[in-house]
Amino acid sequence: MRITDYHTRVLGTPWRNITYLVVETDSGLVGYGESRVVGKTHTVLQYLQDVRRHIVGFDPFDTEALYRRLTLLDFGKPGEVVMTGLAMVEMACWDLVGKACGQPVYRLVGGKVRDRVPAYANGWYTGERTPAAFADAARTVVARGYRAMKFDPFGNGDLELSRAEFKQSLAIVAAVREAVGPDIDLYIEMHGRFAPHQAIAVARELEPLHPGWIEEPTRPHDLPALQQVAAHTAIPIATGERLYGAAEYRELWPLRAAHIVQPDMTQGGGFLETKKIAAMAEVHSIMVAVHNVGGVISTAAAVQLMATLRNGKVLEHFNDFADAHVKQAGSPYPEVVDGAFAVTDLPGWGVTLDETYIAAHPPTYVAGVVQDPGLNMFENAAWNRRGQAARGEAR
């Protein structure tokens, strides 16, 4: 089997355009990859055209050679764009391999250790940034069967919070804890915004609320700062979504500064590279909660990966609460039922893309509208209102 061609499709959402790669072969099989790239969609699309010589004509079974061609042989240090493009192609290759073998991908890399993958909800806090609004929204998450949820209560703090923001952020977390009770896991997103002293102060106040983790409390590449925070709190620390591939985790392991790592296969080199990161995490007694902000293909692939991990913890999921139309890009969509994903027995990723639907829902690019994943959903809405007001469009 050889790759003969490939093309891309981009599904638009208000804050995370989702890019799909469709890889064709001389056997007639088609494989799917996916990524969610914020602010670099066009760059990744162009990169995929630039590396056609490394993709077309090759056997999709040879994913290790694909990695070598797209990283070492192009003589550059691969970063987010390269590792994202590689991930999309590599994921599509695994889909092809599974289909060619008539097996789900997880059976080709050691099989599964669980039939159901626990899920946590994200994207559910889209109302006012008040304790009452967060509490009401959190109740809807629990009512939908989730036993865990993540949220960012911190507004637009940068390095430090004002005293008023500090108090409001803690009040939001306390309100959510009171609303959902003691048996629901709360994961607190910090988006890499804090200086170590502020992260430590926040963590000290959060400890009585027993969060399941604090995520990216400091700048993602300032690992000594993360180590400093870890030394001053009993709350588990999660990080890793902005480390692109196994090599960027190398300095993290000996620091013992993280208890959970969150590799994102769609921008970190793909399925097998992420499994290698998870294996190194296991050696260091660290758990894995794969970062998943994508749609049907990345979610299906992440479920299969998590099913294989002896140190797997929980998988992120947005699409029950944010941009539900994303689910219609392919079928069957891997749904969360009673707080967990079931593991498919269909070949490959077990999903067929609806390219017609994706083409009918392209991204929109509007001047003056900011969609920044480093901000929470409330801040994005506020910036958008400012852009609309500047253009005389505010309602």
Q: Would you state the structure tokens that stand for residue 1, as one six-digit string? A: 């089997």
Query: H-type helices in the chain, by residue range?
Result: 41-50, 63-70, 80-101, 131-143, 163-180, 196-206, 223-230, 252-255, 271-283, 296-308, 355-359, 377-390
Alpha helices in 294-376 (DSSP H): 296-308, 355-359
Residue 268 half-sphere exposure toward CB, CA atoms < 13 A: 28
Range 378-386, long-range pairs (CB < 8 A, 24+ positions): 378/125, 378/126, 378/128, 378/129, 378/155, 379/155, 379/156, 380/14, 380/15, 381/126
The Cα–Cα gap between 264 and 366 comes to 28
* Cβ count near 355 (within 10 Å): 15
DSSP state of 285: T
Q: Which of 221, 291, 317, 361 is catalytic?
A: 291
Contact (Cβ atoms closer than 8 angstroms) between residue 190 and residue 159: no
Measured between alpha carbons, how far is 213 from 203 in angstroms, rounded to an integer? 10
Distance, in Å, from the CA atom of 105 to the CA atom of 208, rounded to the nearest integer, reads: 42
Residue 106 tokens read as 């997880």
Closest by CA to 231, choosing from 219, 223, 242, is: 223
- Minimal CA–CA distance to 338: which of 185, 150, 148, 146? 146
Q: Which of 191, 232, 259, 284 is catalytic?
A: 191
Judge whether 200 and 233 are in contact, CB under 8 Å.
yes
Q: Is the alpha carbon torsion for 379, 382, 387, 388 positive or negative?
A: positive
259 is catalytic: no
Q: Classify 34 as helix, strand or coil.
A: strand
221 is catalytic: no
Which amino acid, 78? P
Residues marked active site are found at 191, 291
